[in-house]
Amino acid sequence: MEIKPIKTEKDYNQALERLEEIFDAKKGSPEGDELEVLGILVDQYEKDHFPIDLPDPIEAIKFRMEQLGYNQTDLASIIGLKSRASEILNKKRKLSLEMIRQLHDRLNIPTDVLIQTY
């Protein structure tokens, strides 16, 4: 087991190939330990080189509403008036701090997503 930092795309591809070879290794075995460490290294390389941007706040609200089967009236019960919910969904009104708190608490949308500009 020779584990080294993943610094280049070549290193990354070699690590992926090795991960594939030892994917079914038993936990606690030498190959299982190698799998765990390589997984951490690959994950960090991917975070550094292939970052995923946060979604648009309004799109995140719409997506979560769809997941929960909510409609505009349900959203209005969280943030206030139905007309306000419509303005939010159509990007005609910005989210207030209190709305962000309510959306986070009631819809479990991360505040990092909701505080972005749009």
**Predicted confidence (pLDDT) per residue in 44-86, tens digit:** 999 999 988 899 999 999 999 999 999 999 999 999 899 999 9
Q: Which amino acid is at 43?
A: D
Residue range 78-117, pLDDT digits in tens: 998 999 999 999 999 999 999 999 999 999 999 999 999 9
Helix 30-49 and helix 9-21: axis angle, to 10°?
Answer: 140
Q: Which amino acid is at 27?
A: K
Report the C-alpha gap between 90 and 12 in whole angstroms. 42
Q: Tell whether the torsion through CA atoms of 31, 9, 48 and 7 is positive or negative.
A: positive
Q: Find where tokens 């708190």 sit.
A: 101
What is the pTM (predicted TM-score) of this model?
Answer: 0.63
**Local structure of residue 56 (DSSP, 8 states):** P
